[in-house]
Amino acid sequence: MPTERAVLRYLTRDNAGTGAWVPPTGTTAERPTGGNLFTGALRYNATLVTWEGYNGTQWTGLGGGNPWQTFTADGSTGTTGVAGRGYFINTTSAAHTFTLPTSATRGDTIAIKDYAATFGTNKLTIARNGHNIQGVANNSLIGTNRASVVLVYVDVTRGWEFTTESNVAFFGPTYTSATGGTVTTSGNFKIHSFTGDGSFVVSTVGNAAGGGSTVDYLVVAGCLTT
């Protein structure tokens, strides 16, 4: 039986020959836990199709493998993301919903790319699945051709942040905001009331994912008596 020193020497660079090592291999569900989990552990994740290591707090990717997959939108079937993977989304025929993972840990990463340059025609919705996206409790809508994003999970407050953005015009709902008159709120609506001369000035125009880009107005006529 080889001694510890012999094994260590064998594992030293240039002493292991020209073959290849096969590390422990298993799915995400088969990761070691409890007393079998040690800081610095290395393994090949068959679910994520990549090598990974445990840093004492969480499993992190080591690169390699081919964690990219292609999904074609059919108008009814969505995609649920898995941390550590990349997704080419083909929306040539229909819009698509990409749902973020139910649970997330700081540092989890997901990449998304417009496969056929058709997000402008058939948009991609990133469903937050209970998490914030860029600090806001809203889904994100991507509607520009050739868009690509990389999302990294931060914490409960910020949720998933976009750390890399390419060809992206907007990520989520925006709402029309304006100044002028006396402003009151009724549900999801802002009401600007004028009882004399004044200006209604729009500072932000909403998009289709938010409140839309139109406003309604009502003029009430009356008479002044003395």
Answer with the residue of higher pLDDT: 43 or 76. 43
- Tokens, residue 113: 């790319």
Cα 97 to Cα 124: distance, rounded to the nearest angstrom: 6
pLDDT band at 91 (very low <50, low <70, confident <90, very high): very high
Cα 87 to Cα 163: distance, rounded to the nearest angstrom: 16
Cα 118 to Cα 96: distance, rounded to the nearest angstrom: 11
Cα 181 to Cα 215: distance, rounded to the nearest angstrom: 15
pLDDT band at 89 (very low <50, low <70, confident <90, very high): very high
Identify the pLDDT of residue 114. Answer: 94
Helix (H) or strand (E) holding 5: helix 4-11
First to last CA, the chain: 111
Identify the pLDDT of residue 211. Answer: 66
Rounded to the nearest integer, the mean pLDDT of the chain is 83
Which of 10-19, 68-77, 155-164, 211-220 is predicted least confidently?
10-19
Q: Which residues contact 226 (CB under 8 A, 6 or more apart)?
A: none
Q: How far is CA 224 from its chain centroid?
A: 57
Burial class (CB in 10 A: 0-12, 13-18, 19+), 87: buried
Identify the pLDDT of residue 12. Answer: 65
The pLDDT of 151-157, averaged and rounded, is 94
Cα 27 to Cα 113: distance, rounded to the nearest angstrom: 25
Identify the pLDDT of residue 36. Answer: 92
- Answering whether pTM is above 0.75, one says no
pLDDT band at 151 (very low <50, low <70, confident <90, very high): very high
Give 1-17 pLDDT, tens digit per residue: 566 776 666 666 566 66
Answer with the residue of higher pLDDT: 4 or 115. 115
Domains of the chain: 4-63 (no CATH), 68-166 (2.60.120.640), 174-210 (no CATH)
Cα 110 to Cα 87: distance, rounded to the nearest angstrom: 8
pLDDT band at 215 (very low <50, low <70, confident <90, very high): confident
The answer to whether residue 224 scores a pLDDT higher than 60 is no
Give 31-74 pLDDT, tens digit per residue: 999 999 999 999 988 876 778 888 888 787 776 666 788 888 88
Longest dimension (CA), the chain: 111
The answer to whether 71 and 90 have CB atoms below 8 angstroms apart is yes
Helix (H) or strand (E) holding 9: helix 4-11
